[in-house]
């Protein structure tokens, strides 16, 4: 059977915002929202907007709906148990909560390893622990290969290392880090392994068991949903961890979900899992009976293949110019990068480029993207940071060609 290609008209019909003629290429900042997500959000608010846990019928139904979505999200990331899914307002907050609870069990002199290519959301929660004597070490990106070298990690790990925490994909360069391989090294050393999956989850299916991660965090508003975030944690770790909710709350995940999950947003995320299944069934109508997780995998495979083509085209164009330097993987190889592409120009500043593109109604962006340490290490502060173009699966080749024509005019 030949592999189908992604039906762009079909997927784009699920995103009403895409009908307005604007070209969204700042998706690493935030993606457009699925109509099924918006529909579930309003379904919940219009019918079930009551407090959970009461004995009356609507309260029961409301709780069932949110629990259903939590189970769907558990299936999506291949968690073993829905209780392993913790919901919160943002990835920044989830990582802060993680640092607050884990560090309750740590002593001065204990060590955390993170990288210099993190979004600050996965950096300051750990460096702030230096005040209580925790030692934070930085695993630095090799500036020649622009990758993290596992031997460098091995040299940093000691018997005091409690946690290694890294980003799965760089939100600036798009480079994917080999988390399954890193997980083995970390666990052999007896440490915990936490991953910031924010820049990866819009592009690839998350599989927490295959990668053997202890914690995994991503933001729903970058995965076609609303402004909330999800943290997976292994059940036994969540059970052992100190809670940060009221003293009488000890159930997982509620004990690390202060103020509770946002009900309507959590419920709305089941619109994402519905969508992933519908994309599958549209492309493989003869296979509609397979397990949901197999469907998600095949759908994300279609996304990855399409995004690889878009990335190859833009990077090939940029590489062909002698005044532009692409920073990171020099092609669209889906095993090495996501479709987040950073570059700088020899003479023009990055703000100058982006502001010249703005009138063409194409949204791209420049800056440090809160990943200040890597932008500084790359020496790009003077340029205003790199220019970042970030595609997701709903972008079309026509849109990429339109961006290239605009670059031809403005560069």
Ligand X SMILES: Cc1ncc(COP(=O)(O)O)c(C=O)c1O
Smallest distance, ligand X to C-beta of residue 367, A: 11
| Of 74, 97, 163, 198, the one binding ligand X by CB under 6 A | 198
| Of 110, 196, 207, 264, the one binding ligand X by CB under 6 A | 196
| Of 33, 70, 92, 114, the one binding ligand X by CB under 6 A | 92
195: alpha, beta or left? (left if phi > 0; alpha if psi -120 to 50): beta
Q: Distances in Å between the alpha carbon of 175 and those of 129, 256, 339?
A: 28, 31, 9
Using the minimum distance from each CB to ligand X, give the nearer residue, 122 or 161. Answer: 122
Smallest distance, ligand X to C-beta of residue 93, A: 7
Distance CA 208, CA 205 (A): 10
What is the footprint of ligand X within residues 143-182 (CB under 6 A)?
167, 171
What is the footprint of ligand X within residues 122-141 (CB under 6 A)?
122
Smallest distance, ligand X to C-beta of residue 123, A: 10
Using the minimum distance from each CB to ligand X, give the nearer residue, 157 or 198. Answer: 198
The stretch near ligand X (CB under 6 A) out of 48-56, 140-148, 196-204, 297-305 is 196-204
Smallest distance, ligand X to C-beta of residue 373, A: 13
Question: Which run of H or of E encompasses 38?
Answer: helix 35-47
Using the minimum distance from each CB to ligand X, give the nearer residue, 119 or 255. Answer: 119
User: DSSP of 246-293, one letter per residue?
Assistant: -TT--STTGGG-TT---HHHHHHTHHHHHHHHHHHHHH-GGGTTS-HH
Smallest distance, ligand X to C-beta of residue 146, A: 16
The stretch near ligand X (CB under 6 A) out of 63-71, 143-151, 191-199, 258-266 is 191-199
**How many CA atoms lie within 13 Å of 51's alpha carbon, on the beta-carbon side?**
5
Residue with tokens 């924010």: 198
Q: Which residues contact 405 (CB under 8 A, 6 or more apart)?
A: none
Q: Which residues contact 363 (CB under 8 A, 6 or more apart)?
A: 22, 23, 24, 25, 26
What is the x/- site pattern for ligand X, positions 202-241, by CB under 6 A?
-----------------x---------x------------
Q: Which structure tokens are listed for 96?
A: 């802060």
**CA-CA-CA-CA torsion sign (85, 90, 91, 94):** negative
What is the largest distance, in Å, between two alpha-carbon atoms of the chain?
69
| Of 6, 23, 134, 199, the one binding ligand X by CB under 6 A | 199
Q: What is the DSSP-derived secondary structure letter of residue 311?
A: H
The reply on whether position 350 binds ligand X by CB under 6 A is: no
User: DSSP of 342-374, one letter per residue?
Assistant: EEEESSS-HHHHHHHHGGGTEE-EES-TT-HHH
| Residues 102 and 161 sit within 8 Å (Cβ to Cβ) | no
The stretch near ligand X (CB under 6 A) out of 115-123, 208-216, 256-264, 290-298 is 115-123
The reply on whether position 121 binds ligand X by CB under 6 A is: yes
Smallest distance, ligand X to C-beta of residue 120, A: 8
| Of 59, 60, 90, 293, the one binding ligand X by CB under 6 A | 90
The stretch near ligand X (CB under 6 A) out of 34-42, 97-105, 119-127, 246-254 is 119-127
- Judged by the rule CB under 6 A, the positions of this chain that interact with ligand X are 90-92, 119, 121-122, 167, 171, 196, 198-199, 219, 229
């Amino acid at each position: 059977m030949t592999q189908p290609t992604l039906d762009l008209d079909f997927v784009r019909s699920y995103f009403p915002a895409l009908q307005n003629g604007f070209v969204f290429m700042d998706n690493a900042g935030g993606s457009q929202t699925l109509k099924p997500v918006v529909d579930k959000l309003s379904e919940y608010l219009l019918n079930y907007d009551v407090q959970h846990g009461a004995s009356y019928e609507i309260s029961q139904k409301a709780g069932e709906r949110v629990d259903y979505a939590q189970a769907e999200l558990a299936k999506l990331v291949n968690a073993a148990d829905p209780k392993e899914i913790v919901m919160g307002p943002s990835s920044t907050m989830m990582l802060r909560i993680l640092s607050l609870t884990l560090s309750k069990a740590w002593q001065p002199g204990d060590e955390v390893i993170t990288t210099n290519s993190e979004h600050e959301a996965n950096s300051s929660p750990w460096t702030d622990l230096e005040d209580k004597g925790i030692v934070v070490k930085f695993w630095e990106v090799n500036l020649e290969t622009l990758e993290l070298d596992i031997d460098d990690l091995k040299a940093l790990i000691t018997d005091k290392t409690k946690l290694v925490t890294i980003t799965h994909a760089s939100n600036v360069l798009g480079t994917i880090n080999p988390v399954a391989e890193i997980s083995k090294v970390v666990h052999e050393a007896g440490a915990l392994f936490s991953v910031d999956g924010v820049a990866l989850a819009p592009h690839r299916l998350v599989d927490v068991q295959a990668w053997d991660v202890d914690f995994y965090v991503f933001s729903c508003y970058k995965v076609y949903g609303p402004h909330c975030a999800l943290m997976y944690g292994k059940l036994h770790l969540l059970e052992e961890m100190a809670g940060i909710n009221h003293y009488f709350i000890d159930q997982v995940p509620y004990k690390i979900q202060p103020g509770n999950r946002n009900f309507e947003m959590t419920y709305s995320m089941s619109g994402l899992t519905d969508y992933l299944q519908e994309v599958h069934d549209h492309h493989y109508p003869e296979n509609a009976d397979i397990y949901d997780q197999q469907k998600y995998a095949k759908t994300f495979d279609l996304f990855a293949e399409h995004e690889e083509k878009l990335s190859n085209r833009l990077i090939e164009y940029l590489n062909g110019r002698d005044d532009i330097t692409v920073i990171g993987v020099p092609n669209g190889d889906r095993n090495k990068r996501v479709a987040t592409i950073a570059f700088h120009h020899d003479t023009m500043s990055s703000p100058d480029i982006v502001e010249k593109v703005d009138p063409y109604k194409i949204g791209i962006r420049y800056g440090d993207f809160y990943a200040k340490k890597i932008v500084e290490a790359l020496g790009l502060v003077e340029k205003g940071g790199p220019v970042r173009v970030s595609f997701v699966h709903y972008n079309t080749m026509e849109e990429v060609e339109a961006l290239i024509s605009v670059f031809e005019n403005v560069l």
